[in-house]
Amino acid sequence: MPAEQKTHYRACNLCEAICGLEIKTQGDQVLSIKGDKNDPLSRGYICPKGVAMQDIYSDPNRLRKPVKKHGDSWVEISWQEAFDSVAEKLVAVQEQHGQNAVAFFAGNPNVHNYGSMTHAGVLRKAVQSKIHFSATSLDQLPHHLTSYSLYGHQSLIPVPDIDHSHYMLIIGGNPLASNGSIMTSPDIPKRLKAIQQRGGRFIVIDPRRTETAEIADQHLFIRPGTDAWLLMAMINTLFAEDLVKTGHLTDLLVGIDQVRSACESFTPELAEQYSGVAAEQIRQLARDMANTEGAVCYGRMGVSVQVYGTLCQWAIQMINILTHSLDVRGGMMASSPAFGYIKPGESGAGHFAAFHSRVSGLPEFSGELPASAMAEEILIEGEGQIRSLITIAGNPVLSAPNGNQMDKALAGLDFMVSIDFYINETTQHADIILPPTSALEHDHYDIAFHRFAIHNTARFNQAVFEPAQDSKHDWEIFNQLGLAIAARKGVDAKPLPSPDQIVDYGIQCGPYSAKAGHELELTLDKVKQHIHGLDIGPLEPSLPQRLCTADGKITLMADYIEQDIARLNADQPLIEKDEFLLIGRRHIRSNNSWMHNSKRLVKGKPRWQLLMHPDDLAAHQLQDQSQVRIQSRVGEVQTQVLASDEVMPGVVSLPHGWGHKREGVNLDIAAEQEGVSCNDLTDEKLIDQASGNSALNGVPVRIFAV
Ligand SMILES: Nc1nc2c(c(=O)[nH]1)N[C@H]1C(S)=C(S)[C@@H](COP(=O)(O)OP(=O)(O)OC[C@H]3O[C@@H](n4cnc5c(=O)[nH]c(N)nc54)[C@H](O)[C@@H]3O)O[C@H]1N2
Ligand SMILES: Nc1nc2c(c(=O)[nH]1)N[C@H]1C(S)=C(S)[C@@H](COP(=O)(O)OP(=O)(O)OC[C@H]3O[C@@H](n4cnc5c(=O)[nH]c(N)nc54)[C@H](O)[C@@H]3O)O[C@H]1N2
Ligand code: SF4
Ligand SMILES: [Mo]
């Protein structure tokens, strides 16, 4: 008898959009994956990656058992042996070289997996090292630092109230490809078009005419890395033209005059010289922000992951604040999630520069050092050198700057363990790999992204399949490895209860609980009854009562911002003659470095080429579709160039996450793909100096014919 057909509803956890899926299965086969029309947030939207969830589940290259390196090959070992050996090796390194000789690198999928969010602490506590790195400092660290300093909590990050906006300025984000970031906003094409349908407009500022720019009311090209001048000039205009209004936040704002004087020298004319955006245009952007009810200025990767990342994010907050677009309908508002609602007294507010990295003296943020410093901390000898590494759902060889240096650093470690289910460019350096279950085999409640959602919902996602026999979830690995390490050190350690117990507890302490006197009297069980997700309602103004700063106010200026403004004042245009500025590129069918083993996603037109403006090709005697050599301070790669007037002259674009043709990588389909790693060119010394975040956009490169 054939197995029964079943229909499951769960959210996709691949990107921040958390789309609801309708998954039909029979036995251990997926029959179909479609958008869940009844999901109150995603409303049936789905992208090609959601359908590819099944390819991860069925991927023959995905590890199902712990493996140990044996010469050039890998052998399966039992969980018991794996935990014992890892504990033995890590503790031995710490006994010989000190606690901080073991470091952590945590990658992006951790925040898409509730068990990793709730349980990684068990392992961290057992290891007792203070050296932590993560993808945060390759990505959104400027947002956390800005929210920490303005609003008193690193996770109190306001998001666009896009469903009610009448004007949206998108700077350095391509939500049509990324599906939104620090803006959980599935179904983004319809949501952006809805702005236009209600008579509003949205504008994109980007060095590339992106998919989002194509459907925008206006697209402005900008030279990479020069957004800070433009944003400062917008603030300058708000003051100069007497457009500043701060509404209900007025009494909470400290230091407006300091902002005014800090921006005095940054005129639109100066900004034009740097950015290439006309001065009158910059003035108009400021006027439109100020004169439209429900306006919002939003900036992402292109303005965070560049040399002025923190200053840009600060300036974006200033623009929203000074046009009374913060904490108002249609502007920027903080979400009110059922779990992880930020209010005064909430833990995890953050801290900054409590210590610095050994080699380059980069500041920590909330206990993490910038990922740009990781390779040198491993490679450079001396007291405090990293000898051993734990990677958790991360691929720094492809995702961090100067990938070749990272590769070399990892190869020289005394011991490395990876919690990951693929043998890829990074994990191939591990001595032992501990593979967790894949997403369809475990329950999920989105801890991270309900928090940044443009509409408040709650959704529990039941596992679709039974976990494979003798497999473990990430959270079980954290519990059990943590305990094994603690036992070996002779210290007390307790495993944490399951993630859903922790989430239930959090929801019952949250804003919709009986305890809070809310009519929903929400518990996890009640959330579970809503198999498509529970609609809690639109975002509401809430900032004044949620500020976590000591005085309950918003202090606009900070020392590190003043220093950065001074740096901007003294800066010269970055570019030398014959140099190009390299930027990245995301595509709807690709997900960072790890979804290229899905045939369904990589098929069709290749997407890893370098894009260059036709005039630049001609000026450099290069041919469309020819091979070119791209050279930066740290490295060189060779790839195919495509002529494209999507990118502005002087700019070239290469996506990250490619370059799987390497010895030791066990990804059959990915390894067939051409394409090189853009991070073999990005430079670990090019950082946002305020936060230490990597500057992966706007990297100077030279290009030669092959
Ligand atoms: N040049 C350039 N570089 C970039 C970027 C860019 O725009 N340009 N973007 C940056 C950004 S925003 C990010 S977030 C980083 C991402 O950087 P990373 O997080 O380092 O890299 P990923 O490609 O996301 O790799 C994820 C790894 O997690 C594993 N994995 C997937 N799911 C799970 C799971 O559930 N559990 C476990 N244990 N493992 C899992 C995968 O097999 C893979 O090895 O890259 C950054 N690098
Ligand atoms: N399909 C897909 N979706 C994803 C991911 C993925 O890999 N693939 N990754 C996920 C992750 S981890 C993240 S963090 C988000 C990122 O989400 P987004 O930030 O929306 O994604 P990007 O496509 O990197 O958009 C950055 C934009 O900035 C532009 N840019 C580059 N340099 C500059 C500059 O100096 N100034 C300005 N103004 N613009 C610049 C680029 O051309 C690009 O269009 O996407 C998430 N979603
Ligand atoms: S946009 Fe695509 S990858 Fe992102 S959550 Fe939705 S289906 Fe998944
Ligand atoms: Mo990211």
Q: CA–CA separation, 590 vs 586, rounded Å?
A: 7
Ligand 2 shell residues, CB under 6 Å: 15-16, 108, 139, 171-175, 177-179, 181, 205-208, 210, 222, 224-225, 227, 300-303, 306, 583-584, 586-588, 590-592, 697-698
User: 146 is written with which tokens?
Assistant: 């800005």
End-to-end CA distance of the chain: 61
The string over 191-201, giving b where at least 16 C-beta atoms fall within 10 Å of a residue's C-beta and e elsewhere, is: bbeebeeeebb
pLDDT in tens, 5-52: 999 999 999 999 999 999 999 999 999 999 999 999 999 999 999 999
**In what helix (H) or strand (E) does residue 230 lie, and over which residues does it extend?**
helix 227-240
- 656 CA: nearest ligand 2 atom: 7
- 592 CA: nearest ligand 2 atom: 7
Neighbours of 494 (CB within 10 A): 11
Helix (H, G, I), strand (E, B) or coil at 555: strand
CB of residue 139 inside a 6 A radius of ligand 1: yes
Q: Give the pLDDT score at 663.
A: 94
Triad 416, 421, 422: Cα angle to 5°: 80
Return the best residue to mutate from 16, 22, 47, 51 for the ligand 3 pocket (most ligand atoms within 8 A of CB): 47
Give the up-direction half-sphere exposure of residue 309: CA atoms within 13 A in the CB hemisphere.
Answer: 30
The string over 354-384, giving b where at least 16 C-beta atoms fall within 10 Å of a residue's C-beta and e elsewhere, is: eeebbbbebbbbbebbbbbbbbbbbeeeeee
Contact of 699 with 582, CB cutoff 8 Å? yes
Contact of 252 with 547, CB cutoff 8 Å? yes
CB of residue 396 inside a 6 A radius of ligand 1: yes
- CA dist 558 → 253, 425, 518, 555 (Å): 13, 40, 37, 8
User: 589 is written with which tokens?
Assistant: 């069918």
CA of 377 to the centre of ligand 3 (A): 35
Q: Where are the alpha helices (DSSP H) in 530-585?
A: 543-546, 559-570
Q: Give the pLDDT score at 573.
A: 64
Q: Give the pLDDT score at 352.
A: 97
* pLDDT block averages, 10 residues each, the chain of length 706: 94 98 97 98 98 98 98 96 98 98 98 97 97 98 98 98 98 98 97 98 98 98 97 98 98 98 97 97 98 98 98 98 98 98 96 98 98 98 97 98 98 98 98 98 98 98 96 98 97 95 98 98 98 98 98 97 96 77 98 98 97 97 98 98 98 98 97 97 98 98 96
CB of residue 584 inside a 6 A radius of ligand 1: yes
CB of residue 126 inside a 6 A radius of ligand 3: no
What structural domains does the chain harbor?
A: 5-58 (3.30.200.210), 67-136+345-507 (3.40.50.740), 141-335+547-568 (3.40.228.10), 571-705 (2.40.40.20)
In 3D, which of 429, 419, 422 has the Cα closest to residue 397? 429
Helix (H, G, I), strand (E, B) or coil at 563: helix
Return the best residue to mutate from 105, 174, 183, 592 for the ligand 1 pocket (most ligand atoms within 8 A of CB): 592
Atom 7 of ligand 3: nearest residue by CA position: 50
Ligand nearest to the CA of 182: 2
CB of residue 19 inside a 6 A radius of ligand 3: yes
User: 176 is written with which tokens?
Assistant: 């049509």
Ligand nearest to the CA of 18: 3
Contact of 526 with 520, CB cutoff 8 Å? yes
Q: CA–CA separation, 640 vs 555, rounded Å?
A: 49
Return the best residue to mutate from 9, 10, 13, 14 for the ligand 3 pocket (most ligand atoms within 8 A of CB): 14
- 181 CA: nearest ligand 1 atom: 12
CB of residue 317 inside a 6 A radius of ligand 1: no
- 42 CA: nearest ligand 3 atom: 6
Q: CA–CA separation, 280 vs 297, rounded Å?
A: 18
Contact of 459 with 534, CB cutoff 8 Å? yes
Paired residues of 74 in beta bridges: 69
Ligand nearest to the CA of 175: 2
Atom 39 of ligand 2: nearest residue by CA position: 172
CB within 5 A of ion ligand 4: which residues? 139
CB of residue 50 inside a 6 A radius of ligand 3: yes
Which residues touch 277 (CB under 8 Å, ≥6 apart)? 205, 220, 221, 222, 230, 271
Q: Give the pLDDT score at 315.
A: 98
Q: CA–CA separation, 644 vs 621, rounded Å?
A: 15
CA of 400 to the centre of ligand 4 (A): 11
CB of residue 46 inside a 6 A radius of ligand 3: yes
Helix (H, G, I), strand (E, B) or coil at 297: strand
**Rounded (10°) angle between helices 79-97 and 474-489:** 50
CB of residue 656 inside a 6 A radius of ligand 1: yes
CA of 108 to the centre of ligand 4 (A): 6
In 3D, which of 202, 171, 128 has the Cα closest to residue 300? 171
Which residues touch 508 (CB under 8 Å, ≥6 apart)? 514, 515, 522, 523, 524
Contact of 632 with 703, CB cutoff 8 Å? no
Contact of 390 with 91, CB cutoff 8 Å? no
CA dihedral 20, 24, 30, 35 (to 10 degrees): -30
User: 117 is written with which tokens?
Assistant: 């969010």
